[in-house]
A and B are shown apart, each in its own frame.
Chain A
Amino acid sequence: MRLSARIVNTAASVAVLIGCLSLAAPAVSVAGAVEDGKKIAFSKKKGNCLACHAIKGGKLPGNIGPPLVAMKARFPVKNDLKKQITDARVKNKHSIMPPFGPHQILKSGEIDKVVEFIYTL
């Protein structure tokens, strides 16, 4: 959870870059969305999902939430996964997982990309 200034800056400039790229190329490919989603999920300033979840490809994960694996089996309907990531309180009123959508931690476009990435796990 502790943000070192350098990591924050890098994350911020990555985010800016992503912003420019998607402006230049409006039709984002699915593969691109998965890649972007991974960056957003792993960035401390953005999703910071690794604070709580083990995720393939991520280092030093926390263990507050369950490891994110077999997502297609856990969420046969992709939109249910989106709901979970948007606002975990819908399923568990007292969830420690941040309400990424309602608290504007992630923009809705960013959540879509994170969903694409998580759904590959």
Chain B
Amino acid sequence: MKKIAAIITAVVMLASPFVVNASPQQDLKDFRSFFKKKFPDTPMNDFINGVYSVHKASREQWEAFEEFPSYEIYVDKGEALFNNTKFKNGKGFKNCFPRAKRGIKGNYPYFDTKKGKVVTLEGTINKCITSNGSKKWGWKKGKMAHLSAYLSYKTRGQTIKVKTPKGKKAVAAYNRGKAHFYAKRGQLNMSCADCHYYYSGNKIRADILSPAIGHVSHFPVYRNKWAKKTGDGMGTLHRRYGGCNKQVRARPFKAQSAEYSALEYFHTYMSNGLKWNGPGQRK
């Protein structure tokens, strides 16, 4: 992957088949009904199970994995980080997230009107660390993914309910994420929508493409592929975004960049009404 010579950065914004000016509410309605029609046998909330919601054959094997999930020890590590981390000034995560044990993942992402930007869980974790005088963590894996896994685990079963974007700036951020989702990019000229909307359920080589609805529900995720190097397969949603951008030979954006945060904002809003079920386990 690293040696891809011709990484094309230009994004071709062809007149895409989506309606640019539809309201977020209308988008959400259309998104849901599209997948309902495409996969009539899948109950709406089952889309939180990703590719396994549309592919019976691989589901059994996955369910067997889920009985002794590989992410479990990382949820425990995350819990220890939550309880035991002491910042430079003596404070800990409890001071930033007093309600963590009741599940706070569902508060993110949201648009902060004062700051004029999308706020994510991972962003808030690092904010907590730095505002208490300690050094911030890496964004995509390791401790960040472990703590995020623990906080997600505590949120299991709650409903995804991102507030409908209101106001010029919030709508602009939403539209930026939406544009990213539908834009063709990279040397191979493919959009997220090509693989996870129009052709979801199809096979790309031996991989079944998961539907985009429900995608965000189970992050961070333990991937066998990510575990190959160090044994620790946990990674955040933005780590996955980068991987999917690279697959089409596009230069990935930075994790927690405004671009990926906007994408997460749109992507999560499109799963409103489904349940949080992180962390997840994937190939």
Where the two chains meet, the residues of A that have a C-beta atom closer than 8 Å to any C-beta of B are 1-3, 5, 8, 48, 50-52, 60-64, 93-94, 96, 98-99, 103-105
Contact = CB atoms under 8 A, between A and B. Distances in A.
Interface of B: 1, 3, 6, 8, 14-17, 187-190, 194-195, 198-199, 202-207, 225, 247
A62 B207 CA distance: 8
B202 A63 contact: yes
Contacts of B198: 96
A49 to B, nearest CB: 10
Contact of B204 (A64, A98, A99, A103): A64
B17 A94 contact: yes
Closest 10 CB pairs of A and B: A96-B194, A62-B203, A60-B206, A98-B188, A62-B204, A51-B205, A1-B247, A64-B202, A63-B203, A62-B205
Contacts of B189: 98-99, 103
A62 B199 CA distance: 11
Contact of B247 (A2, A61, A62): A2
Nearest to B202: A64
A103 B203 contact: no
A64 B199 contact: yes
A84 to B, nearest CB: 15
Contacts of A96: 190, 194-195, 198-199
A2 B8 CA distance: 18
A60 B205 CA distance: 6
A3 B204 contact: no
14 contacts: A1-B204, A2-B247, A5-B1, A8-B3, A48-B205, A51-B205, A52-B204, A62-B202, A63-B202, A64-B203, A94-B14, A94-B17, A98-B189, A103-B8
